[in-house]
């Protein structure tokens, strides 16, 4: 990169900075363990990594040793010098250096292509760049952890050691980032989920989450909200089976484009598949009868459970699972209704995210290499998506080649309270599946026509959305979602009857209330209630039982003072009704 003032807000600058940092990491490792074989070391979101093949297993102490060596390389301020070799010379050189992974990468490059390398001090690495001008431009670096990683992400290949790190232009920025990482650890939905007893994943079913009573409260409230809002907007709800025959998946295109992610079974000597997506089932629901152009748009919504094969190394709490419930809808419409339906869905998704306090950005993904349909159909569909987003004056970026195999899509990326982004909602415009299933309607001309179709999800996945909400709110959910809205604690068992009477009155007002009347110290019970993130805590002793005036503590706002039980109930009911954050 040119020697000019660095603008670290620019993606290309960050990538070059962190890519250079990964080379410094590799150079340090080779200095300490010359026998280490190098794989790849790219820049990634918020940092970088490098993969190594080494018999020695990296420890936390090793990371400190490597980081110390990296600082020496940075202080040496080596220039990064680019040079090229012919493919033959590059392969011979990698053979001499005994770098089999680099050799494999070169072998995959086209014949006749010149191969680029970067040199810094005694260290040389195969790389296309770009990089910073010198190692001294890297100001603040931190190695974070070690993980296993299959070579090229293929579980049939050798497991390598991946060292993750990050780097910033100043120690202050690095310190702020590390503080955010620590906060993210505290908010980890797996940790909070265990403390709040929301969900569990057992070794008998890796990637298959069990929802526990507290987690089911959140899930049911989300689903109730989802159903209410869909009913307001003219959707009707369906449910389709988990298993359908293999022939249907050939028709849908999933057999050719998605079967590596699917599970299969046999029934009565026939071949069947467990559904990875809900859309083919919706096609069968539509196809059961003939519609007129007057019936459109037809909006079918489904909370449909799907199963997808994920590698065990990719599984992560509720964020990456092998079964989840997609909050789908499939909208069938006339060509002239596409624009209005797209705008309506985008507006719907925006409303839902606003309820949870999320901001978001939008990406439009275009035709992938593995796809169905003509370029002309894809161009029409992409243009329709752009037009709808532009009508609502929503900024967007183009994500080339990342559409679904049957159509382009709009993806909604939420930003949480830590500034992290999560892809959740999606809208896909599909001209292919209606053709493949040969669904039609009778037009105003009396002839049969093929309808257009939108696939869309708001939450994306109920499971993943709960995981995101858990981390976003650090377990302190909005009252309408909270598993325990009121926890009543008694100072001694003498006041248990009063506490139970009070709890019953609050339950009659529709509130979720628990009483902790155990013979334990009140300080212990308060700590437990706080750790469980119970929304409101009320302590009952002699004064409260005789006066009916209770002290109220909020998990978010702290002590709120004293109030009567009816006033407390009204406050909570209003908070729930408004879905206050």
Question: pLDDT tens, position by position, for the chain (581 residues)?
Answer: 444 567 898 989 999 999 999 999 999 999 999 999 999 999 998 999 999 999 999 999 999 999 999 999 999 999 999 999 999 999 999 999 999 999 999 999 888 889 999 999 999 999 988 999 999 999 999 999 999 999 998 888 999 999 999 999 999 999 999 999 999 999 999 999 999 999 999 999 999 999 999 999 999 999 999 999 999 999 999 999 999 999 999 998 888 888 999 999 999 999 999 999 999 999 999 999 999 999 999 999 999 999 999 988 789 999 999 999 999 999 999 999 999 999 999 999 999 999 999 999 999 999 888 888 888 888 988 999 999 999 999 999 999 988 888 789 999 999 988 888 999 999 998 888 899 999 999 999 999 999 999 999 999 999 999 999 999 999 999 999 999 999 999 999 999 999 999 999 999 999 999 999 999 999 999 999 999 999 999 999 999 999 999 999 999 999 999 999 999 999 999 999 999 99
Of 254, 330, 367, 472, which is the active-site residue?
330
Of 219, 409, 525, 533, which is the active-site residue?
409
Q: Which fold has domain 11-186?
A: 3.30.980
| Partners of 341 in the β-ladder | none
Of 308, 320, 456, 553, which is the active-site residue?
308
8 Å CB contact between 291 and 444: no
Task: Kindly provide the residue ranges of all beta strands, DSSP E only, lying in 334-434, ordered along the sequence.
Answer: 359-365, 396-399, 409-415, 421-430
Catalytic status, residue 308: yes
What letter would DSSP give residue 358? -
Catalytic status, residue 279: yes
Catalytic status, residue 330: yes
Q: Tell me which residue has tokens 């750790």.
A: 531
Query: What are the CA-CA distances from residue 124 to residues 26, 38, 84, 130, 331 (Å)?
Result: 10, 11, 12, 14, 55
Cα–Cα–Cα angle for 543, 548, 553, nearest 5°? 80
Of 279, 322, 411, 553, which is the active-site residue?
279
Catalytic status, residue 56: no
| Partners of 563 in the β-ladder | 550
- In Å, how far from its chain's centre is CA 25? 29
What letter would DSSP give residue 134? B
Catalytic status, residue 375: no
Q: Pick from 134, 138, 1, 131: which is nearest to 67 by CA?
A: 138
Domain 197-242+275-472 class in CATH: alpha beta
Q: Which fold has domain 486-577?
A: Rossmann fold (3.40.50)
Domain ranges of the chain: 11-186, 197-242+275-472, 486-577
Of 137, 326, 337, 432, which is the active-site residue?
326
**What tokens does 203 get?**
């070794």
Of 51, 125, 327, 328, which is the active-site residue?
328
């Amino acid at each position: 990169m040119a020697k000019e003032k660095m603008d670290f807000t620019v993606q290309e600058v960050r990538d070059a900075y962190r890519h250079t940092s990964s080379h410094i990491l590799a150079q340090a490792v080779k200095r300490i363990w010359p026998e280490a074989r190098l794989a790849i070391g790219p820049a990634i979101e918020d940092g970088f990594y490098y993969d190594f093949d080494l018999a020695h297993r990296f420890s936390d102490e090793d990371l400190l040793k490597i980081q110390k060596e990296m600082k020496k390389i940075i202080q040496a301020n080596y220039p990064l010098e680019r040079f090229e070799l012919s493919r033959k010379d590059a392969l011979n050189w990698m053979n001499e250096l005994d770098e089999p992974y680099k050799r494999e990468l070169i072998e995959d490059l086209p014949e006749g292509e010149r191969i680029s390398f970067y040199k810094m001090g005694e260290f040389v690495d195969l790389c296309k760049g770009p990089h910073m001008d010198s190692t001294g431009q890297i100001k603040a670096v931190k190695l974070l952890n070690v993980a296993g990683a299959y070579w090229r992400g293929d579980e049939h290949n050798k497991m390598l050691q991946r060292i993750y790190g990050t780097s910033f232009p100043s120690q202050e920025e690095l310190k702020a980032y590390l503080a955010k990482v620590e906060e993210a650890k505290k908010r980890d939905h797996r940790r909070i989920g265990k403390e709040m007893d929301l969900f569990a994943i057992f070794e008998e079913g890796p990637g298959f989450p069990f929802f526990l009573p507290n987690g089911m409260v959140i899930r049911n409230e989300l689903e109730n909200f989802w159903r209410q809002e869909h009913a307001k907007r003219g959707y009707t709800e369906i449910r389709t089976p988990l298993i359908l025959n293999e022939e249907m998946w050939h028709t849908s295109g999933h057999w050719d484009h998605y079967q590596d992610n699917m599970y299969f079974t046999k029934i009565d000597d026939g071949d069947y598949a467990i559904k990875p997506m809900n859309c083919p089932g919706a096609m069968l629901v539509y196809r059961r009868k003939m519609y007129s152009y007057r019936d459109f748009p037809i909006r079918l919504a489904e909370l449909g459970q799907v199963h997808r094969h994920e590698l065990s190394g990719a599984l992560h709490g509720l964020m990456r699972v092998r079964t989840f419930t997609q909050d789908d809808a499939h909208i069938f419409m006339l060509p002239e209704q596409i624009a209005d339906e797209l705008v309506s869905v985008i507006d719907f998704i925006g409303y839902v995210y606003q309820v949870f306090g999320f901001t978001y950005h939008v990406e439009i993904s275009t035709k992938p290499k593995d796809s169905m349909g003509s370029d002309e159909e894809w161009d029409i569909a992409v243009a329709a998506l752009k037009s709808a987003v532009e009508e609502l004056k929503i900024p967007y970026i183009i994500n080339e080649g990342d559409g679904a195999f049957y159509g382009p899509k709009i993806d909604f990326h939420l930003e949480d309270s830590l500034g992290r982004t999560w892809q959740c909602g999606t809208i896909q415009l599909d001209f292919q599946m209606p053709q493949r299933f040969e669904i039609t309607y009778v037009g105003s001309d009396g002839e049969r026509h093929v309808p257009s179709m939108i696939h869309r999800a708001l939450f994306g996945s109920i499971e993943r959305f709960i995981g995101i909400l858990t981390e976003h709110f650090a377990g302190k959910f909005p009252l309408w979602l909270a598993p325990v809205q009121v926890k009543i604690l008694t100072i001694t068992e003498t006041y248990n009857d009063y506490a139970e009477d009070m709890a019953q009155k609050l339950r009659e007002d529709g509130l979720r209330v628990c009483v902790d009347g155990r013979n334990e110290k009140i300080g212990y019970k308060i700590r437990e209630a706080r750790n469980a993130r119970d929304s409101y805590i009320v302590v009952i002793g002699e004064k409260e039982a005789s006066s009916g005036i209770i002290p109220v503590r909020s998990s978010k706002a702290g002590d709120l003072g004293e109030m009567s039980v009816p006033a407390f109930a009204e406050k909570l009911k209003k908070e729930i009704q408004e879905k206050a954050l």
